[in-house]
A = this chain, B = another copy of it.
Amino acid sequence: MKRVLILAAVASACCWAQPAQDCQPAPSNAGGALYPCIHSDLRVTFRIAAPDAHKVLVATNTADSGFGKGPVDLVRGEDGVWNVTVGPVVPGFHYYWFVVDGIEVSDPSSESYFAHNKELSGVEVPEKGADFYDVQNVPHGDVRIHWYRSKTTGSWRRAYVYTPPDYDGHAGARYPVLYLQHGSSENGSSWSRQGRAGLILDNLIAAGKAQAMIVVMETGYATQPAALLAPAPAPAAAAAGRNPSAFERIVVDDLIPMIDSAYRTLADREHRAMAGLSMGGAQTLQIALSHLDKFSWIGCFSAPIRSFDAQTAYNGVFADPAAFNQKVHLFWIGAGTAETAMHDGAKAMHEALDQAGIKNVFYESQGTAHEFQTWRRDLADFAPRLFR
């Protein structure tokens, strides 16, 4: 009996003060906070002090990642601190939030990230043996927050621009450019913060696996003020039955010319790629496939693709396989195996393209869902294939 009591005391201490020895604070915690913490078996313990609350839940947007099918109840301790342990979860980056007495709140222990059109908490669950997105002892590029004025919207916008290591030191060098878009309700900061795009490129470039390149990350929303709307779409677009979105106009008319002017780029289609995740993947297909005079490398990460028809899709751009294969140096499609709908759509597109004789790469991220671990792996597979 005595032994049981001692163990119980230890178990109690473990949960309300320091995390259990095998539970390490998540690298995404703010200001040295101890929770959430990650157990060695990848269970995650969440904790929040809420002495006067009546009900506290923790929720994520990916049931596929092992957090459970819906919000999970935390249990109140005698000291008003609430706890729960979930999982094991899939490694990678997961958005989460608490629901305290019916209100969705961020975790004061976590850094916050723009997603779902607001600031959410995020927990980074390290993947054993994977360091391709970690800060390593290699030369690092900068991520530059760059203001520019958009003619399309008549307003100032900010692009996040990754310049490769020692860009400033090679004053004569010019670089190819990857335009890389975030997902729905995220923004231009998401790829470098949640996605660690800069660190992934640093590591690939240092290992000689990817060409040094510039990566441009813009925020994929735009509205055109009525005063700036053209009375009709431009003739070429109209002939193709298209009325380009404001964001497409920004990329083509504002962003590319600005980047080619402000940075030392190789300013032609041979040295310009576009890729994006989820909504950004759909934007990539729409924009790059409509402007093959501007892009020749294309990546589509976990985009929503339904009933793809190689003959008719995207105004018939795939209808002439020989012409497409000559023009497009890389058509890359990826999805995580744990995001069923996106994976099914990507696989069907890949198979239809194969059948039509369109060269393409299909990459499956094993065991990951509609989350940044899928997209980090996508980028690490996609970027080395560019500009070769």
Contact = CB atoms under 8 A, between A and B. Distances in A.
B135 A101 contact: no
Nearest to A159: B142
Nearest to A169: B262
A52 interface: yes
The 6 closest A-B pairs by CB, nearest first: A52-B102, A31-B117, A105-B105, A140-B147, A50-B103, A142-B144
A388 interface: no
Given A135-B156, A144-B142, A156-B135, A103 B48 contact: yes
A156 B145 CA distance: 20
Interface of A: 30-33, 48-55, 80, 100-106, 108-112, 114, 117-119, 135, 137, 140, 142-149, 156, 161, 168, 171, 185, 192, 262-264
Contacts of A106: 105-106, 108, 112, 119
Given A54-B52, A135-B147, A144-B144, A30 B114 contact: yes
A53 B103 CA distance: 8
27 contacts: A30-B114, A30-B119, A32-B117, A50-B101, A50-B103, A51-B102, A52-B55, A53-B102, A54-B101, A100-B103, A105-B106, A106-B106, A106-B112, A108-B119, A110-B119, A111-B114, A112-B112, A135-B147, A140-B147, A140-B156, A142-B145, A142-B146, A143-B144, A143-B145, A145-B145, A145-B192, A171-B171
